[in-house]
Amino acid sequence: MLAKLRSAANRLMLWVIAAVITLAVLFVSVLLYKWWVFEPEPPTAATCEALQVLPLKANDQSAVAAEIQVYQCQRGKREQWQGFEVWLRQPISNDWQRIATAERGQCLTVSLAKHGQLIIHHSHSRGDLQLAKSSVIYRNEQGQPFTLAVSSERTDDCPLP
């Protein structure tokens, strides 16, 4: 009886150890992916050309709290990937947040629809535009947070910036 109990405890311990190892491997792989793959370097550190800059003010009298910037970039070891990137840059802290990425297509522009909503106009199919964030938070000079919701609109002719 004691031998059966000991055998069952050993099997249970092996299952627990296997589960812990599996979870540890998954956790480490997610961290590695996030650090090295998920968020690329800002466009100023890559082969990118600025196409559009959209200033965001916290209110009518304040200075520019953030900028939405659209770039056409080439990335990769041999710069094989070419496409558009949309970034939010906070000039005060020089922080960058990637908003969207799309492979090269006919057009991609951005506009503000109403206070707090950014619209990405694009000629790509819906599956070719990858939104990294559905909303972004930026801060003004006083550190007050503001939220910008992100949406996309497919169009054949993008509006001029």
Above pLDDT 90, what percent of the chain? 35
Above pLDDT 70, what percent of the chain? 92
Q: For the segment 9-27, what is each residue's pLDDT rounded down to a tens digit?
A: 999 999 999 999 999 999 9
Euclidean distance between CA atoms 157 and 85, whole angstroms: 18
Which region among 29-38, 43-52, 71-80 has the lowest average model confidence (pLDDT)? 29-38
For the cut 80, the answer to whether the pLDDT of residue 67 exceeds it is yes
Neighbours of 93 (CB within 10 A): 10
Instruction: Give the strand pairing for 145-154 and 117-122.
Output: parallel
Taking only Cα atoms into account, the Rg of the chain, rounded to an integer number of angstroms, comes to 23
For the cut 90, the answer to whether the pLDDT of residue 143 exceeds it is no
Q: Which residue has the tokens 């200075």?
A: 63
For the cut 70, the answer to whether the pLDDT of residue 130 exceeds it is yes
* More reliable by pLDDT, 95 or 140: 95
What's the rounded mean pLDDT across residues 65-90? Answer: 87
For the cut 90, the answer to whether the pLDDT of residue 149 exceeds it is yes
Domain boundaries, the chain: 1-38, 43-154
Neighbours of 74 (CB within 10 A): 15
